[in-house]
Amino acid sequence: MGALSLSTMAALAHALNGRCDWLVVALVRATFMLATTATLVRASGASLVVWRPRTLWIRSLAGSFSLVCNFYALTRLPIADAVTLMNVHPLWIVLISAAVFRRPPTRGEVVGVACGLTGVVLIERPHMDGDRLAAVVALLSSMSTAVAMLGLHRLRQIDARAVVAHFAGVASVISATWLFLRGDLLSPRPMEGATLWLLLGVGASGTLGQICLTRAYAAGAPAKVAVVGLTQVVFAMGFDVVLWGRPLAPIALAGFALVLTPTTWLSIRAAHKLAAGAASSEP
């Protein structure tokens, strides 16, 4: 659900290209997420978290950098190109986990990530004819996402909505400050009704996706959840085909198979382990 919601957000953001500034889209996304999640936290009786732990700030700063980079890339590249490059983060997660947390990946995780990333390359290869700066920015986003996702796993004791609210607050401040320093707030562009609806859709779908993935990374092993998150590429390619009429080349279909096969295998394997653990704990 998180992957589908974020892919929908990507499609809406891409549709906003030429309608409003990409940084305005990022600011709307962040502020909508802040208002929604802060309300949910208060309604549930949970507490908002601001200053501690330090990992929360690392996660929010890395996520904010990733968010801003995402919208720059999404408004300049085709959806599948941008989402593909932004989803290279499983590689970084596995490497960071091994180097920093001394948590070597299992053979299954290595094979799954390798197959998934090979599929991503095959999907991407026929279409990399867009803005090269935007492509580099999308890759930088994936690195920041890896740091943020690993931080989420260490914050699993904190309510997921509180974590998202903190991230949204930091992202809102960064986006608004950047926009103010650029001077765009002094001369806002006129917005049509369709533009406002698209912005609302970006905020709603992005918030839903963020909450879903936050809960997923807090509950599961980051490397496995990251591989499942690669289904965003599949959803994004579907939007490209249906809404923008991009053709599906045979090499792209091969990429689909390489992405979906390890995703399905890792999901089934994790479910079997959970079931076995639950059964062994029963009296």
Task: State the 10-residue block means of pLDDT for the chain, 283 residues long.
Answer: 89 85 85 81 70 77 85 83 76 71 74 78 61 77 78 67 79 84 58 82 85 74 68 83 80 76 64 50 46
Other Cβ atoms within 10 Å of 138 Cβ, number: 26
Q: Return the pLDDT at 182.
A: 76
Angle between helices 222-229 and 2-15 (to 10 degrees): 50
Residue 126 makes CB contacts below 8 A (sequence gap 6+) with: 249, 251, 252
Cα–Cα nearest to 95, from 81, 114, 82: 114
Q: Return the pLDDT at 8.
A: 92
Q: What is the pTM of this model?
A: 0.73
Residue 46 vs residues 35, 40, 49: alpha-carbon distances, Å: 15, 9, 10
Q: Return the pLDDT at 279.
A: 46
Cα–Cα nearest to 221, from 265, 266, 176, 187: 266
Residue 246 makes CB contacts below 8 A (sequence gap 6+) with: 78, 80, 127, 237, 240
